[in-house]
Each structure stands twice: as structure tokens, then as C-alpha cells.
């Protein structure tokens, strides 16, 4: 990754301008060409440096619902339970975290009722109580990794 990549990634994290010819606008800012920019973004997507390019939706505006939830999984069953969760389309992310609550996942459903049903389903599947922590207030969302 060179200096140009760093500037490109930093800039792209802030978003494309909602103007006509957005790549051209960006190219002028970064003193490059629109063609070269798009090609480099494609390469960074292909090699996994970037995971996605597109609108970052707040899905709740579209009628969806999310929650953050956790399980406290006995070590011997950890991988098996991770597989059970991985098979559920409602499970968007799942991380192991070093804590008594050792499995933390995000559920995404079309409706709040869908979340409740999914939590019940996970409890039935795993036999473990789900710690369900839907957000009550958002103070900040702004994933940005300066390079």
C-alpha cells in the first residue's frame, strides 16, 4: 500500500459526493483520473483491503430491526454452537469475545417481531439463554480507520 492508496482509502471512507460524475470529483481532489481511481478501488476490493463499496444504509429506516445479543457457551460446545448460529440467515456478525458471555452476534430481521422469534429459536436450538441487548439510543456510528 502506497501513499496514494492511503489517501484514496481515507477519502473513500468519507463517502462519494452526491454530485454528477462523482469519480471525476474525487479524481480531481486526489489528483488522479476517474478511470485510474475506479481501477484501483476494484483492485483493493479484489485483494480484500476493501470489503464493500456502496451505500451504508441505516436499515432501521427501511423497516428492518437489529439487536446485539450474546451467549455464554460452554467451551466444549463452542464450535458446534458457532456453526448453529452461522447457519441462521438472521445472524449477520458473530464474534468470540473473552468474557463469560463469550459469543456476541448481531441479528438482522425484517421486523422487531422477527428478532423476538429468532432469539427464541436460538434458545431452543442451543438450550442456552440469550442475552438480548437492543440499542435504546445511538450516540455515534462512524467507523473510520485513519491511515
Partner 1 sequence: MSACISPSEQALRQQLLALSEAGLPLVDDPWAWLAERLQLSLDDCLALLQRLQGEGAIRRIAAVPNHYRLGYRHNGMTVWDVSDEEMARLGPLVGSQPFVSHCYRRPRREDWHYNLFAMVHGRTAEEIDDYRQRIRELLGNACRADDMLVSSRILKKTGLRVASRTAGDTPTV
Using CB under 8 A as the binding rule, the residues of this chain from 73 to 112 that contact partner 1 are 82, 85-86, 89-99, 101, 103-106, 108-111
Q: Which helix (H) or strand (E) holds 35?
A: helix 34-46
Residues that contact partner 1, how many (by CB under 8 A): 78
CB closer to partner 1 out of 115 and 127: 115
Strand order in the sheet with 131-133: 103-109, 65-71, 131-133
In the complex, what is the shortest distance from the CB of residue 31 to partner 1, in angstroms, rounded to a whole number? 19
CB closer to partner 1 out of 33 and 127: 33
**Contact of 89 with 81, CB cutoff 8 Å:** no
- Of 3, 75, 127, 140, the one binding partner 1 (CB under 8 A) is 140
Residues composing the chain? 147
Q: Binders of partner 1 among 22-61, rule CB under 8 A? A: 22-23, 34, 38, 41-42, 44-45, 48-59, 61
- The whole-angstrom separation of Cα 105 and Cα 95 is 6
Q: Give the Å distances, CA to CA, from 43 to 11, 55, 64, 107, 111.
A: 16, 19, 32, 31, 37
In the complex, what is the shortest distance from the CB of residue 100 to partner 1, in angstroms, rounded to a whole number? 9
- Of 28, 29, 33, 117, the one binding partner 1 (CB under 8 A) is 117
* CA atoms within 13 A of residue 14's CA, in its CB half-sphere: 9
- Of 2, 3, 31, 63, the one binding partner 1 (CB under 8 A) is 63
Amino acid at each position: 500500500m502506497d501513499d496514494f492508496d492511503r489517501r484514496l482509502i481515507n477519502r473513500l471512507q468519507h463517502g462519494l459526493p452526491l454530485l454528477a460524475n462523482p469519480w471525476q470529483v474525487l479524481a480531481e481532489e486526489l489528483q488522479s483520473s476517474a478511470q485510474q481511481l475506479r481501477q484501483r478501488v476494484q483492485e483493493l476490493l479484489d485483494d480484500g483491503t476493501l470489503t464493500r463499496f456502496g451505500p451504508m444504509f441505516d436499515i432501521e429506516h427501511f423497516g428492518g430491526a437489529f439487536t446485539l445479543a450474546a451467549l455464554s457457551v460452554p467451551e466444549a460446545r463452542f464450535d458446534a454452537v458457532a456453526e448453529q448460529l452461522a447457519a441462521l440467515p438472521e445472524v449477520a456478525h458473530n464474534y468470540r469475545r473473552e468474557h463469560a458471555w463469550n459469543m456476541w452476534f448481531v441479528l438482522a430481521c425484517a421486523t422487531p417481531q422477527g428478532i423476538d422469534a429468532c432469539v427464541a429459536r436460538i434458545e431452543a436450538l442451543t438450550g442456552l439463554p440469550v442475552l438480548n441487548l437492543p440499542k435504546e439510543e445511538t450516540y455515534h456510528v462512524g467507523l473510520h480507520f485513519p491511515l
